[in-house]
Homo-oligomer: A and B are copies of this chain.
Amino acid sequence: MALDKEETGERVLAIAETLLNEGGMDNLKARTIAEQAGISVGSVYNLFSDLDGVHRAVNMRLLDRLGVAGAAAMADLGRRGITDVRQRLMALAGAYVRFVEAHPGSWPALLAFNRRRSVLTEPDVYEARLDQLFEIIASVLADGGFDLDEDTRRIAARTLWSSVHGIVTSGYAGRSVSRQADEIDRQIELLVAVFIRGLERGGTFAHAGPTAS
């Protein structure tokens, strides 16, 4: 055998990611993986606990890649000496949009996966990887000259992320990709602009009135 266990595992993950990216969760089949990897079905289960385990591993790779993309976008701006908050936030959002477009099947599959196993599993590893992204956003806000205490900045970073995420996922649900791409750009543009203007005005964001009656 030319490949050792770890190499075979990597190959399986690469195949699995392609399958997920091309056909979503329904396309991740044990027999297809085995066939394409040149191993038997049983070996797949020898390498991973089950298909969920394979999917989880693929998801980790995706999250790592997303983190790298975000960090790279920031590094690029830093290299070019750009410190403008708006440009930095747009660069981060743009990195996310491009990441989603580059993973049209596997990223939705990750979201669907998390949704399926909502509260049942330990999302600790996920959270850790996402926190990394929140940190980037929070640091941008910290450098933006806003008058925000650390807690508010933390919330604002998460809110910004969730909002961009919502725009992108809502945007790509239905219709054709091209038609929606422009709509998504406009929404993100408005979101970032409004956010910056809103934060610039300062003030507190403490829990005030009732959410609803």
Contacts and interface: CB of A to CB of B under 8 A. Distances in A.
Contacts of A127: 174-175
Nearest to A130: B170
Contacts of A119: 174-177
Q: For chain A, give the interface size range.
A: 35 or more
Interface string A143-176: 0000000001001101101111111011111111
Interface in A188-204: 188-191, 193-199, 201, 203
B90 A212 contact: yes
A187 B159 contact: yes
- Which 3 A-B residue pairings sit nearest by Cβ, starting from the closest? A166-B166, A94-B212, A194-B198
A26 B170 contact: no
Contacts of A81: none
Nearest to A23: B116
A123 interface: yes
B174 A193 contact: no
Interface in A111-150: 111-112, 114-116, 118-119, 123, 126-127
A190 B162 CA distance: 12
11 contacts: A108-B118, A119-B174, A159-B163, A159-B187, A162-B167, A162-B170, A164-B166, A165-B170, A166-B167, A186-B207, A193-B198
A185 B170 contact: no
Contacts of A95: 212
A205 B193 contact: yes
A76 interface: yes
A13 interface: no
A63 interface: no
Nearest to A93: B211
B174 A162 contact: no
A208 interface: yes
